[in-house]
Amino acid sequence: MTKKSRFLQTPVEPFAVEAGLTADEILTRMERISFQGRNLATAHRVWLKMLDDDVTIFLGMAGALSAGGLRLIVAHLISNRYVDCLVSTGANLYHDLHETRGQRHYIGSPHSDDTALAEDRIDRVYDTYADEEEFIGNDNWIADFAASLEPRAYTTREFLHLLGGHLWDTTGRDGILTAAYRAKVPIFCPAIADSSIGMGLSQARQKRAGAGAIDIIGDIVESANLIIRRPRTASVVLGGGTPKNFINQASVQAEFYSPEVTGHLYAVQIVTDVPHFGGASGASLEEAESWGKLAADSARASVQVDATIALPILATALASSAPPILARRQVPAFTLASRVMTIDGQTVPSDRFEDVNEPAV
C-alpha cells in the first residue's frame, strides 16, 4: 500500500434517484455523498446510537422553530421519548402555546411593507406573520395563570410543567408544552425573561404581589443534579443559542461535584452559525470537548444547515428506523409536579448540589 492510498479507501457514491425511497433510505444513501448531506446522515446514525445506549438525551431548541412550523415534530420527539429533557428558548414555547390555544401563524413574505404590517398590528418573523392582538391575549392568559399559583419562586422546570398541565386541561390539544406534560418530560427555559412568557410573568406581578417569581439559579442546580444522578448523557441541539450552552454547562457544573461525569457521550448539533466569529451558537463540537462538555471519545455529528430543512428529514427517518430501539429503550422516569423533581425515584434538588465528594454526615 502506498502512503497516500491509506486515505483513498471509501469512494463517494453518486446519489441515484429512485422513486419511493423512505427518508431513512435516503439518509442511508447520503452517508456516501459529501458535505452537509453526509453530516445529516451521520447525525441520524449518532441519534440511533444514543437511543440504543443507556443515556439521558437532552434536546436544545433555539430560533423561531415553533413559529416556523416545527413544533409538532418536537412534540412527537418528546411523546415518543426520542429525547428525555427539553431546553428551549421562551419564544419557542410561547409560539407553541399560541398555536395550542387554537391560534395560527401565517404564510408571509420577507419583502413585506413592515410599516403597513405595524399599522395592522401584524408581527413578522422573516416570512411568517402573527396577530399582535392574539399575542396580547396570550400574555394576559399566562399572567392570569401565574397569578393563580402560590406566590413563591418556581424553577422554570416546575412552572412550565404546571403551565403545560393548564394548557392541556383547557385545550386538550397537542403541542410541545402539552406533550412534555403528558409524557412527564422536563422543560428548562434558562432565558425565560427574554420572551413573551417572561412578559406574561411580569404582568402577573401587577395582578398579585409575589407572583411571577422564577428561580433561574435553581435551574442550574437542578439540571446539574439531574446529570449527577444519571451521568451518562447525550445532547441534540437545534439552532444553538442559550439552550445549547445551558445543556453543556449543566454537564460542566455536574462534573465539578461528581467525578463520574465526563461530558456528553453523544452529540448532534444542527446550526447555521459558524465557529470563526467566536459565538457559542456556532462553536464546533471539538471546541466543546476542550471545555469538558463532550467526552473525548464521544460520537458526534455537526450539521450546518437550517433546522427547517434538516429536522423534518431527520425526524421522518427516525420514525422508520428507531421504533425497534424505542421499544426496548429504558427511559428515565421523572416526577415533575412539585418543587423537587425526581428521576428514577431519586430526588433532584434545586437548592444545593448533590456533592458526591462530601463525606457522609
> Do the beta carbons of residue 176 and residue 161 sit within 8 Å?
no
User: 117: buried, middle or exposed (CB in 10 Å: 19+, 13-18, 0-12)?
Assistant: middle
d(CA 40, CA 42): 5
d(CA 27, CA 23): 6
Q: Which residues pair with 124 in a beta bridge?
A: 129
d(CA 174, CA 176): 7
> Do the beta carbons of residue 155 and residue 180 sit within 8 Å?
no
Q: Which of 3, 4, 244, 293 is catalytic?
A: 293
Cell 433510505 appears where?
A: 25
184 counts as catalytic? no
Dig out the grid coordinates for 228 from the structure: 449527577
> Do the beta carbons of residue 160 and residue 93 sit within 8 Å?
yes
**Residue 307 three-state SS:** helix
Q: Which residues pair with 188 in a beta bridge?
A: 87
Which residues are known to be catalytic? 293
